[in-house]
Amino acid sequence: MTPTRVLVLNSGSSSVKYQLIDMADRSRLAVGLAERIGEETSALHHEPLAGGGKRERHGRLADHDAALEAIAEELAADGMGLDSPELAVIGHRVVHGGLKLTVPTLVDDAVLKEIERLIPVAPLHNPANVTGIRTAQRLRPDLPQVAVFDTAFHSAMPEHAARYAIDVETADAHRVRRYGFHGTSHAYVSRKAAELLGKDASEVNLIVLHLGNGASASAVRGGRCEDTSMGLTPLEGLVMGTRSGDIDPAVVFHLGRVAGMSMDEVDELLNKRSGLLGLCGDNDMRQIRRRMAEGDAAARLAFDIYIHRLKKYIGAYYAVLGTVDAVVFTAGVGENSAPVREAAVAGLKELGLAVDGELNAAGGKEARLISPSYARVKVAVVPTDEELEIAEQSYALVASR
Ligand code: AMP
């Protein structure tokens, strides 16, 4: 019997999300989340999808090791433990692969070392990814582990998009360049969008807008990334839930000199207390829309700033690509917020862009077009599925060995 199951692990700084997927039919067998790892209030939410209902565990999970052991126990209780002969591979989401790790990669010591070496450019994420891989290796030493990198899709970016205009020696000495993130989502969504248009990915130019709590845009020409809005870190680009996105770097010096803020304080301000949250006190687009309906001026302004930035990126990437087949919305806000989609393309008829009010408002879980039939440039909603993409890439790699 050829094993066909893939366990996908997404280890964050204090959480582990997981899905067990059977690649024979792409079905989900179990999904879950271990959260608040390291705190007294840790919880594990586990759901076997073949039946049996959701289960919860409460109580301290001391570290990622403990969390992964608890996850393995829950899977084992459903007869789908890590020792199962049906398990083909564990696929890990790894945030930063740098310049060397640009394709899904079978993890060995050298690969782990490289992921560790990149910790200075991904201090929040790569340490958790390394821990997740080490623990999985300990629990199932004989099983292949594949790392799928969030930066990989963007590694095709040409130098003129990837470099900052700063002194080359300084940049190279410290690996300062634009890497981009959410690459697994941009890759999956651009492939699905091409399918929706009835074309091969190599034939279409797309502007992909991944609008979740984190948000990024990318310009994709013929299936390859030509530019993306996140940079050295996920801070650059669009206005996000709690991140500022683009900002004059002199703001950092100014806050240091004038407000006496430390580097760490400015880092925390721009990553955690900015974006929609910093502007109006809420980072959830649903809540912002509710407040707007009640006439709340701060929520209105936050929305307008969010849309203004989005529109600037649509325009910029239109110019980068020259011709555009579709603008594609994905992730929490992109998939669910009709008002954001409508506002983002409002006034862009001259560029061939429009949404159909009814199609836009209709909702749904499937990839769909929301532009009127006459539109020169299609507008699409394509639900992202990073876990399935990681499973596909990990499975393809072990199947090809
Ligand atoms: P993600 O990071 O992709 O999980 O997206 C999370 C974000 O999606 C939340 O913070 C909300 O702002 C947004 N979101 C989720 N559902 C909706 C909805 N129905 N309408 C508007 N925004 C939504």
Q: Whose CA is nearest to atom 23 of ligand 1?
A: 333
- Is 383 near ligand 1, meaning CB less than 6 Å away? no
At residue 13, the pLDDT reads 82
- Is 104 near ligand 1, meaning CB less than 6 Å away? no
Residue carrying structure tokens 């989502």:
185
Where do the CATH 3.30.420.40 domains begin and end in the chain? 5-149, 199-386
At residue 305, the pLDDT reads 98
Q: How far is CA 120 from CA 1, 60, 98, 123, 349, in A?
A: 43, 29, 11, 5, 44
pLDDT averages per 10-residue partition of the chain, 401 residues: 94 92 96 94 94 92 92 94 94 95 96 94 87 92 96 97 98 96 97 98 98 97 98 96 97 98 96 97 97 98 98 98 98 98 97 97 94 96 96 95 84
**Distance separating alpha carbons of residues 278 and 274, to the nearest angstrom:** 4
Give 16's DSSP letter.
E
- Is 97 near ligand 1, meaning CB less than 6 Å away? no
Ligand 1 centroid distance, CA of 355 (Å)? 20
List the CATH code of the domain at 199-386.
3.30.420.40
For domain 5-149, give the CATH superfamily: ATPase, nucleotide binding domain (3.30.420.40)
At residue 68, the pLDDT reads 92
292, 336, 386: residue to mutate for ligand 1 pocket, most atoms within 8 A of CB: 336
**Distance separating alpha carbons of residues 85 and 337, to the nearest angstrom:** 42
- Is 384 near ligand 1, meaning CB less than 6 Å away? no
Ligand 1 centroid distance, CA of 340 (Å)? 11
**Distance separating alpha carbons of residues 105 and 392, to the nearest angstrom:** 13
At residue 280, the pLDDT reads 98
Q: DSSP 3-state assignment of 284?
A: coil
Q: Which atom of ligand 1 is nearest to the CA of 213?
A: 2
Residues in the chain: 401
Ligand 1 centroid distance, CA of 284 (Å)? 6
Q: Which atom of ligand 1 is nearest to the CA of 340?
A: 21
Q: DSSP 3-state assignment of 148?
A: strand
Ligand 1 centroid distance, CA of 13 (Å)? 21
Query: Residue 88 is which amino acid?
Result: A
Closest CA to 95 of 131, 135, 128: 128
At residue 120, the pLDDT reads 86
At residue 125, the pLDDT reads 85
At residue 124, the pLDDT reads 78
Q: How many helices and strands in the chain, by DSSP H and E?
A: 15, 14
- Is 338 near ligand 1, meaning CB less than 6 Å away? no
- Choosing from 25, 65, 150, 248, the catalytic residue is 150
286, 306, 342: residue to mutate for ligand 1 pocket, most atoms within 8 A of CB: 286
At residue 87, the pLDDT reads 96
Q: How far is CA 381 from CA 205, 319, 320, 365, 369, in A?
A: 16, 22, 22, 9, 6
Closest CA to 104 of 386, 394, 398: 394
- Is 286 near ligand 1, meaning CB less than 6 Å away? yes
- CA–CA–CA angle 369, 374, 378 (5° rounding): 35
β-pairing, 27-35 vs 16-22, is antiparallel
At residue 12, the pLDDT reads 84
pTM of the model: 0.94
β-pairing, 326-330 vs 224-228, is unpaired
Residue carrying structure tokens 């011709």:
323
Does residue 150 have an active-site annotation?
A: yes
DSSP string covering 332-370: HHHHH-HHHHHHHHTT-GGGTB---HHHHHS--SS-EE-
